[in-house]
Chain A
Amino acid sequence: MDLVRHRGPGRWALRARTRPPVVQVWRLHLDAPDWDVAAAAAVLSPAEQERTTRGTADVRRRRVLLRAGLRTVLGHRLGLAPAEVPLTESDGRPHLTDPATGLEVSCSASGQLGLVALCDGAALGIDVQQHDDVEARAGLDEGWLTAGERAALHALPPARRLAAVTRCWTQKEAVLKGSGVGLRRPPVTVHTPVTPAGRTGEWALAAVPVPVGALASVAVRTTARTPRVAVADLSPAGAR
Chain B
Amino acid sequence: MTAVAAGGGPARTTRRIPQIADFRTRAEATAGRPLDGTQALHRWSVDSAEEFWRTLLDWSGLAWDGSASTVRTSADVRDARFFPDVRLNYAENLLRPLPDAGDDAPALTAVRRDGTVRRHTRGELRRAARRAGAALLRAGVRAGDRVAALAPNHDEVAVAGLAVAGIGATLSTATPDMGPAALLGRFGQVAPRALVVDRTGMAREGLTADAVLAELVAGLPSVEMVLLLDDDPLPAPGRPAVARLADLVEELPAEVEAEWPRLPFAHPLWVMFSSGTTGPPKAMVHGAGGALLEHVKEHRLHGDLRAGDTLYFHTTTAWMMWNWQLSALAVGAHVVVSEKLVTGPETLWELVAAHGVTVFGTSPAYLQLCQDEGYRPRDAVDLAALRSVLSTGAVLHDWQFDWVADAVGDVPLQSISGGTDIVGCFVLGHPDEPVQRGRCQSLSLGLDVAALGEEGRPVLGEVGELVCRNPFPSRPLGFLDDPDGARFAQSYFTQHPGAWTHGDLVEIGADGSARMRGRSDGVLNVDGVRIGPAEISGVVRRLPEVAETMAVEQQDPARPGSARLVLLVVPRPGAVVGEELSRRIRATLRSQASAAHVPSVVLYVEGLPTTHNGKLSERAARDALDGRPAGNLTALRNPETVAAIAAAARAATAPTAPAGGGGDGERDGEDDGGLGTAVRRVFQDVLGRSVGAAEDFFDAGGTSRQSMTLLRRLRLETGAPLAMEAFLADPTVAGVARALAAPPADRPAVHLLRPGDPALPPLFLVHGAFGDTDSFRYLVERLDVRCPVYGISGTLVRPDGSRPSVVEVASTHVAEVDAVWPEGPLLVAGYSFGGLVAYEMARQFAAAGREPLFVGLLDVRPPGTALRPAEQRLKRLGAVLATAVPGLRVRTPLQAVADVLRRAPRSAEAASEADASGVYEQYRWADYAGPVTFFRVRRRIPVIEHFLSAWRRAAPDLRVVDTPGAHHDMLGERNARTLAVRLASVLRDVLAAG
Contacts and interface: CB of A to CB of B under 8 A. Distances in A.
B67 interface: no
B708 A56 contact: no
B973 A141 contact: yes
Nearest to B972: A141
B28 interface: no
Contacts of A184: 724-725, 728
Chain A interface category by residue count: 20 to 34
Interface stretch (A22-30, A116-124, A132-140, A232-240): A132-140
A169 B703 CA distance: 12
B436 to A, nearest CB: 28
Given A134-B587, A184-B728, A173 B705 contact: yes
A213 interface: no
B724 A55 contact: no
A59 B700 contact: yes
Nearest to A176: B704
Given A143-B712, A183-B724, A55 B699 contact: yes
Given A55-B696, A55-B698, A183 B707 contact: yes
B591 A186 contact: no
B701 A138 contact: no
Contacts of A183: 704, 707, 724, 728
Contact of A54 (B696, B724, B778): B696
Contacts of B927: none
A129 B781 contact: no
A37 interface: no
A110 interface: yes
Residue of A110, A139, A142 most packed against chain B (CB within 10 A): A142
Contacts of A56: 699-701
A169 B705 contact: yes
Contacts of A129: 703, 705
Contacts of B724: 183-184, 186
Contacts, number: 60
Given A134-B584, A141-B973, A143-B777, A182 B704 contact: yes
A187 B704 CA distance: 10
A151 to B, nearest CB: 10
Contacts of A55: 696, 698-701
A142 B712 contact: yes
Contacts of B696: 54-55
B160 to A, nearest CB: 54
B591 A135 contact: no
B906 interface: no
Contacts of A169: 705, 708
Interface in B760-812: 777-778, 781-782
B709 interface: yes
Contacts of B707: 183
Nearest to B781: A147
A22 B725 CA distance: 34
Interface string B509-536: 0000000000000000000000000000
A89 interface: no
Contact of B709 (A54, A135, A150, A173): A135
Interface string A85-119: 00000000000000000000000001000000000
Interface string B141-184: 00000000000000000000000000000000000000000000
The prevalent SS among residues of A at the interface is helix
A105 to B, nearest CB: 18
A183 B709 CA distance: 13
A36 interface: no
Contacts of A54: 696, 699
B782 A142 contact: no
B687 to A, nearest CB: 10
Interface in A135-193: 135, 138-139, 141-144, 147, 150, 169, 173, 182-184, 186-187
Contacts of A139: 705, 708-709
A58 interface: yes
Contacts of B700: 55-56, 59
Contacts of B698: 55, 59
Residue of A169, A183, A187 most packed against chain B (CB within 10 A): A183
A48 B176 CA distance: 72
B703 A110 contact: yes
Contacts of A187: 708
A142 B782 CA distance: 18
Contacts of B728: 183-184
A206 B46 CA distance: 73
A183 B888 CA distance: 35
A150 B777 CA distance: 14
A155 B699 CA distance: 37
B591 A138 contact: yes
Contact of A147 (B584, B705, B708, B782): B782
Residue of A55, A141, A173, A182 most packed against chain B (CB within 10 A): A55
Nearest to B725: A184
Interface in B664-723: 696, 698-701, 703-709, 711-712
Contacts of B781: 147
Contacts of A147: 778, 781-782
Contacts of B777: 143
Residue of B704, B705, B712, B778 most packed against chain A (CB within 10 A): B705
Contacts of B706: 135
Contacts of A150: 973
B708 A144 contact: yes
A174 to B, nearest CB: 11
B971 to A, nearest CB: 13
A150 B709 CA distance: 17
A129 B706 CA distance: 10
A147 B973 CA distance: 10
Interface string B962-989: 0000000000010000000000000000
Contacts of B705: 110, 129, 135, 139, 169, 173
Contacts of B711: 142
A104 B816 CA distance: 47
Contacts of A186: 724
Contacts of B708: 139, 142-144, 169, 187
Contact of A59 (B584, B701, B704): B701
Nearest to A144: B708
A141 B778 CA distance: 11
Nearest to B710: A142
B703 A59 contact: no
Interface string A68-95: 0000000000000000000000000000
A129 B591 CA distance: 23
B557 to A, nearest CB: 27
A168 to B, nearest CB: 11
A55 to B, nearest CB: 4
B513 to A, nearest CB: 32
A110 B703 CA distance: 8
A55 B587 CA distance: 25
A138 B709 CA distance: 8
A60 to B, nearest CB: 9
A142 B707 CA distance: 10
Contacts of A143: 708, 712, 777
Residue of A129, A134, A139, A184 most packed against chain B (CB within 10 A): A134
B699 A142 contact: no
B784 to A, nearest CB: 13
Given A56-B699, A56-B700, A184-B728, 14 more contacts: A54-B696, A59-B699, A59-B700, A110-B705, A129-B705, A134-B587, A135-B709, A138-B587, A138-B591, A138-B712, A139-B705, A173-B704, A182-B704, A183-B724
29 contacts: A54-B696, A55-B700, A55-B701, A59-B701, A110-B705, A129-B703, A134-B587, A138-B587, A138-B591, A138-B712, A139-B708, A139-B709, A141-B712, A141-B973, A142-B708, A142-B711, A142-B712, A143-B708, A143-B777, A147-B778, A147-B782, A150-B973, A173-B704, A183-B704, A183-B707, A183-B724, A183-B728, A184-B724, A186-B724
Complex A-B, nearest 3 residue pairs according to Cβ-Cβ distance, in ascending order: A55-B699, A142-B712, A54-B699
